Amino acid sequence: MTKLSELPSFRIHLSQLLQQAALTLQIKSTLYIEISRTKQASHGDYSCNLAMQLAKALHKSPREIAGMLINAMPESAYVERIEVAGAGFINFFIRNDAKRIYLKHILQSGDSYGVSSFGDGEKIQVEFVSANPTGPLHVGHGRGAAFGASLANVLSKAGFSVTREFYVNDAGRQMDILALSAWLRYLALNQVSIPFPENAYQGAYVKDMARLIYEAHGDRYVHQPGLLLDGLPEAAHETAISTDEQLDRMIATAKKILGQDYAYIHNFVLTEQLGDCRNDLMEFGVEFDVWFSEQSLFDNGLVARAVRLLDEKKHLYRQDGALWFRSTEFGDEKDRVVQRENGHYTYFASDIAYHLNKFERGFDRVINVWGADHHGYIPRIKGALQALEQDPDNLKIALVQFAVLYRDGIKAPMSTRSGEFVTLRELRNEVGNDAARFFYVMRKSDQHLDFDLDLAKSQSNENPVYYVQYAHARICSVLAQWDGDAAMLVDADTGLLTSPAELALLQCLIDFPDIIETAAQELSPHVIAFYLRELASEFHSYYNSTHFLVPEVPIMEARLALVTSIRHVLKSGLELLGVNAPEKM
């Protein structure tokens, strides 16, 4: 009997058999041996296309090579038989008793089943969300939050040392626009009428912050507001300001008028919006190990240092008074400004400093979760890292398409500046955290996502999160009716599990660690969601066709051992996605 501590990964085991066969046949190849799960039980449990890959080099037909490899393979205690199929696929059939060994292992491991050393402790930073703290998080941010949190969970379970980080954009123009917006609303509460810019932040949350300042400080920050209109066209005195140039002039004037008090307004709106963001994410089940301030990069001289290092390495040049990075030498479509003519550093300069700082903190690999509209930004940031003698391949970018929310078949607008957007909090209140987390990661992150509210709220088999959670609740109900000691199920006679449905469920459970490693390797937590739906489907079919609490105690205990293992895997998989596993529904 195989010891539980020596349980093989069937994929690894089969790969080793093929490597040994190739060695016996003196086939020298650096080809990666990919072992795939078959889609039909009649084709076995696992399949490999190595023979087809070797055909050209060996000048033989794939079927002939497959036969040679099979004949040269050493005996295996886990393999029942091996067949050549189709154009030359090698199909492996695993012994049923080898599969049943896993059941005892799952029962002993419980919810920790699937934890692996695949990542070997590699230090990975996952930076995600990183939304400008200029307003409430909207449903677009929610997808990045759900994806990033799930990815971090998967990587951690796969054996990586993971740090979750939020990059706080607390420096720069957007925060200045928010501070100005709040101050103008505050002035209005003090009966000071200044035309509100069309391109400032319009949302009700801005008025709420202004009201808090007014209630705490009265008219303390009413400083010569009439000067705000100086230097602007006469028309701007009566109608809303609409150009960025006019808005920037108002910001500069506000800073001059307020003096030291501007820092209070700026810090107040930053603290309010960042606090709201933290609370929203925590309520969503998304937490961070590090909240990294962009402003700290300037305060600590890291932006100036990064630019200086690039200059010392001859990667910068000056043109029209500005300092440019030669990003075209690293695959970018054009060179980029890092310092403007007025001496101010660009967003790109602070991003360079931030990414250099990530690697200098000792991370082996860095994963950025970005919106799909940032695709063009990738070559320049990787180029800057390469210019600074960092390996750009250690920076991985996971692109996330924006989610589009539909309510009653109508697309909801999500413009932060206009204030016409559906917040993440509103979505969570409407459909619940579980549905939101699951729906956000149902599809590959770089694919478009239409979020169907009606489906997310329905209690039906068409609702995937309900379907998976219901499978878990059904198992809990069966075990509650049994009311026995679950610990004793580890000694159940699993040899009594012989039906095709039971064997299919066994194989599905065996797949779980491989699914986690695949999700980690491909940065694709959506494969966990797909897997859970498949497992739930197999279970529901089994549940509808099988009696569990039968008079024959050995059969009952074997079936209960199986469904208890399914419960562990469903719960573990749902937790990776940040979704609850309810015991009753």
* pLDDT at position 3: 42
Q: Are residues 484 and 555 both part of a single domain?
A: yes
* Residue 180: partners with Cβ closer than 8 Å, 6 or more residues away: 197, 200, 247, 250, 251, 254
Query: Phi-psi bin for 259: left (phi > 0), alpha (psi -120 to 50), beta?
Result: left
Average pLDDT score over the chain: 93
Last residue of a domain, one of 76, 94, 112: 94
Q: Is the pLDDT of residue 233 over 80?
A: no
Q: Are residues 31 and 106 both part of a single domain?
A: no
User: Containing domain of residue 38, as a range?
Assistant: 4-94
* Dihedral pair phi/psi, residue 547, rounded to 5°: -95, 135
What's the CATH code of the domain at 555? Answer: 1.10.730.10
Q: Are residues 10 and 84 both part of a single domain?
A: yes
**Beta strands of 50-101 (E only): which ranges?**
79-85, 89-94
Write out pLDDT tens, residues 543-584: 999 999 999 999 999 999 999 999 999 999 999 999 999 999
pLDDT confidence bin for 404, thresholds 50/70/90: confident
Q: Is the pLDDT of residue 5 over 70?
A: no
If you average pLDDT over residues 478-484, what whole number do you get?
A: 96
Tell me if 63 is assigned to some domain: yes
If you average pLDDT over residues 509-528, what whole number do you get?
A: 97
Other beta carbons within 10 Å of 177: 22
Write out pLDDT tens, residues 249-281: 899 999 999 999 999 999 999 999 999 999 999
CB 152 within 8 A of CB 121: no
Q: Are residues 18 and 104 both part of a single domain?
A: no
Q: Are residues 467 and 568 both part of a single domain?
A: yes
Question: In the chain, how many domains are there?
Answer: 2
Last residue of a domain, one of 41, 60, 94: 94
Q: Are residues 10 and 67 both part of a single domain?
A: yes
Query: Strand pairing of 79-85 and 89-94?
Result: antiparallel
Of the given ranges (20-24, 242-246, 518-522), which has the lowest mean pLDDT? 242-246
Q: Are residues 476 and 571 both part of a single domain?
A: yes
Q: Are residues 68 and 110 both part of a single domain?
A: no
Q: Is the pLDDT of residue 235 over 60?
A: no
Q: Are residues 473 and 545 both part of a single domain?
A: yes
Q: Is the pLDDT of residue 2 over 80?
A: no
If you average pLDDT over residues 311-328, what whole number do you get?
A: 97
Q: Are residues 484 and 523 both part of a single domain?
A: yes
Q: Are residues 33 and 110 both part of a single domain?
A: no
* Euclidean distance between CA atoms 54 and 360, whole angstroms: 43
What's the CATH code of the domain at 46? Answer: 3.30.1360.70
CB 114 within 8 A of CB 513: yes
Q: Are residues 42 and 64 both part of a single domain?
A: yes
CB 364 within 8 A of CB 391: no
Of 264, 269, 265, 195, nearest to 225 by C-alpha is 195
Write out pLDDT tens, residues 74-122: 999 999 999 999 999 999 999 999 999 889 999 999 989 999 989 999 9
Tell me if 209 is assigned to some domain: no
If you average pLDDT over residues 145-171, what whole number do you get?
A: 97
Tell me if 48 is assigned to some domain: yes
Of 344, 343, 348, nearest to 310 by C-alpha is 348
Tell me if 545 is assigned to some domain: yes
Q: Is the pLDDT of residue 1 over 60?
A: no
* pLDDT at position 263: 96
* Euclidean distance between CA atoms 528 and 571, whole angstroms: 12
Last residue of a domain, one of 94, 110, 138: 94
Tell me if 530 is assigned to some domain: yes
DSSP per residue, 402-427 = PEEEEETTEEPPEETTTTEE-BHHHH
Tell me if 381 is assigned to some domain: no
pLDDT confidence bin for 420, thresholds 50/70/90: low
Tell me if 148 is assigned to some domain: no
Q: Is the pLDDT of residue 7 over 80?
A: no
CB 294 within 8 A of CB 171: yes
Q: Is the pLDDT of residue 224 over 70?
A: yes
DSSP per residue, 500-565 = HHHHHHHHHHHHHHHHHHHHHHTT-THHHHHHHHHHHHHHHHHHHH--SS-S-HHHHHHHHHHHHH
Tell me if 32 is assigned to some domain: yes
